[in-house]
Amino acid sequence: MSIDSNKNAAWVADLYSKLRDAIASVVIGQDDAIRLSFTTLLCSGHSLYEGVPGVAKTLLVRTIAATLGIQFGRIQCTPDLMPSDIIGTPIFFPNAGEFRFRPGPIFADLLLVDEINRAPAKTQAALLEAMQERTVTVDGTGYPLGDWFTVLATQNPVEQEGTYPLPEAEIDRFLFKIPIGYPSQADEVRVLGTHHAASSVAVEQRKMVSADELAQARDIANSVMPREEILGYAVSLVRATRDHPAIAVGASPRAALWMVRAAKGIACLEGRNFVLPEDVQAVIVPTLRHRIVLEPSAEVEGMNADAVVEEVVRSVPVPH
């Protein structure tokens, strides 16, 4: 799609501002998660939400879907969920004397995968192909999922009974890992004020953005050209994770690629068609926190991925 000459990064920023205000009226106190979620859509990525039950992870995805002109789907993961349950299966039609493929819930533009770590390994592998290739394969035939296919998955970090930890290869396919924490006291009071009535459990949001407008926004974000110094900065940050004493396994070149793509998206949300070092710094923690593996000794000392990544940021010179 060619970019409308009347639309630019400032138009994307205005579009996001309207969406953010609409979503924030329902999902209260999660502004950073809303920002990273829209950036995920701009970058054609997928994101993983992590938080305890009841902090509005599912509500956030459903509200985002309600404001966008794209198809929404949901999969509730359980330990007995099979690949055919999400992909679909060939069904025999006696009258026609043939098998026809019946698509599963994975055929959606914006797919909520709830409690993804409860899905068994085979089902997680099916999701991995879909996330990487935007295609599923049934009986040797590939079925495209479309350019809009985006997975927004949730997981509970506390309860581990009946769960299957995600393999590193699948975790690496998520652009961001977004923590959804408890709201502040003031925000929690607003949550009660907004949702205390039974009829307000699912606050309806009207569609505010068409699929064409979203495609234009994505094209504008993709057209942002980062300077050579920004590319070098992203590579230096990623390479520094491989030398940090607290990190056993550093980030891959794919991490640097997604970091730059995300920084381009953040620049657009700020109304700019160029990338600043601050844009890279804004996305480095959510981009890398799930892509590095800490040394056991660092974990024993109470260090976490976020703190280590912030140490990496401080150790790398910022380009001017």
Please report the pLDDT score of residue 96 as a whole number: 82
- Confidence at residue 198, expressed as pLDDT on a 0 to 100 scale: 57
Do residues 296 and 173 both lie within one domain? no
118 shares a domain with 23: yes
Task: Flag whether 219 is in a domain.
Answer: no
Asked if 237 and 183 sit in the same domain, the reply is no
- The confidence score (pLDDT) of residue 201 equals 45
CATH number at residue 250: 1.10.8.80
d(CA 225, CA 105): 36
Q: How many domains does the chain have?
A: 2
Phi-psi region of 123 (alpha: psi -120 to 50; beta: other; left: phi over 0): alpha
Same domain assignment for residues 65 and 126: yes
Provide the residue range defining the domain that includes 106. Answer: 9-195
Residue 207 domain flag:
no
> What's the pTM?
0.91
Q: 99 to each of 88, 102, 137, how far by Cα in Å?
A: 13, 9, 15
Q: Is there a domain that residue 245 lies in? A: yes
Give the domain CATH number at 24.
3.40.50.300
Within this chain, do residues 180 and 283 fall inside the same structural domain, yes or no? no
Closest to 12 in 3D by CA, of 218, 260, 207, 208: 218
| Residue 203, domain member (yes or no) | no
Along the 320 residues of the chain, how does pLDDT read in single tens digits? 556 656 899 999 999 999 999 999 899 999 999 999 999 999 999 999 999 888 889 889 989 988 987 888 999 999 999 999 999 988 888 888 888 889 999 999 999 999 999 999 899 988 988 998 899 988 888 899 988 899 999 998 876 666 788 888 889 999 999 999 999 999 999 989 888 775 544 445 678 888 899 999 999 999 999 999 999 999 999 999 999 999 999 999 999 999 999 999 999 999 999 999 999 999 999 999 999 999 999 989 989 999 999 999 999 999 98
Residue type, 16: Y
- Whether 44 and 155 share a structural domain: yes
Same domain, 146 and 275: no
